[in-house]
Amino acid sequence: MSEELVALASEAARLAGGLLLERSGRGAEREVASKSSPTDLVSEADLAAQHAIRELLSARRPQDGFLGEEGGDEAGESGLRWIVDPLDGTINYLFGIPQWSVSVAVADGEGVLAGAVYDPNRSELFAASRSGAAVLEGERELDGRAADPGQAGEGLATAMVATGFAYDAGVREGQARVLARLAGEVRDIRRFGSAALDLAWTAAGRFDAYYERSVKAWDVAAGGLICRRAGLEVRELPEKDGLPWGILVAPPHLIGELAELVG
């Protein structure tokens, strides 16, 4: 069943991604509102994409639950629940920056069972199931691990690390202090603005590691599974020093040192 769920997650992500890409080609979104803060925006595009995903899932699997970033938290009757971010990287989307994605995952009582992250701007679909490989559709299986520890060069000193920041300015100040601690220990740091895509790119080996606080379940459900199935270690970052919950992903030989710096 897991492969059928991967196929459905992929179909839903592609459906929403196509809709979003078409809308982006028409120009700026006119209907925009704020959520948790003036910088945390939701557009009509977010809502339309979630509606399209929900309609597809309801038609194919009406007994399943649903959790979406733009509203909706239903338990369902099947024991499965879909976890959806219809547009991860809304600010990028609104500013015309082609770095956003659609994330669709499905979970049972043991965790995420299947998931897909779709990047419409590059026509790249990343997907995995709990029992299968992580794949970049049409290309290859993913292995996010760098060379094994014996071949890992300088370790952290050669690592490219991705991260992201909270909408709340006070939280960002705390994150900046962590970033300053990390900056001198790694090759470089990247911040692009879509957590789901950061995770997918880490699984693909484009980044060596990724960490971020203030992410939500819909940001990381699919991407976290894809990273695990690509051989990476995924750890939770508990709330600490006024910073919210987060996630850290890295190959086994790097994650301990990174956890000391950002945990």
Is the domain of 25 the same as that of 134? yes
Mutual orientation of helices 217-229 and 195-203 as an angle, nearest 10°?
0
φ and ψ at 257, to 5 degrees? -65, -40
pLDDT grade for 148, boundaries at 50, 70 and 90: very low
The last residue of a domain, from among 77, 110, 141: 141
Is the domain of 130 the same as that of 41? yes
Is the domain of 110 the same as that of 11? yes
Is the domain of 187 the same as that of 89? no
* pLDDT in the model for residue 116: 98
The last residue of a domain, from among 89, 111, 141: 141
Is the domain of 186 the same as that of 89? no
Higher pLDDT, 76 or 26: 76
Q: Among 2-6, 30-34, 108-112, where is mean pLDDT lowest?
A: 30-34
> What is the domain range of residue 200?
149-262
* pLDDT in the model for residue 147: 46
Is the domain of 77 the same as that of 167? no
Is the domain of 13 the same as that of 98? yes
pLDDT in tens, 171-230: 999 999 999 999 999 999 999 999 999 999 999 999 999 999 999 999 999 999 999 999
Is the domain of 132 the same as that of 186? no
Structural domains in the chain (count): 2
93 Cβ neighbours under 8 A, 6+ residues apart: 20, 24, 29, 43, 45, 87, 100
Q: Can you give the CATH number for the domain in which 211 is found?
A: 3.40.190.80
Is the domain of 156 the same as that of 256? yes
Q: Can you give the CATH number for the domain in which 69 is found?
A: 3.30.540.10
* pLDDT in the model for residue 138: 73
The last residue of a domain, from among 141, 165, 186: 141
182 Cβ neighbours under 8 A, 6+ residues apart: 161, 189, 258, 261, 262
Average pLDDT, the chain: 91
Is the domain of 183 the same as that of 134? no
Is the domain of 21 the same as that of 137? yes
φ and ψ at 25, to 5 degrees? -70, -15
Is the domain of 129 the same as that of 159? no
CA distances from 193 to 3, 86, 145, 212 (A): 29, 15, 23, 11
Question: What is this structure's pTM?
Answer: 0.92
What does the pLDDT average to over 89-116? 96
pLDDT in tens, 28-76: 555 555 555 554 455 888 899 999 999 999 999 999 999 999 888 889 9
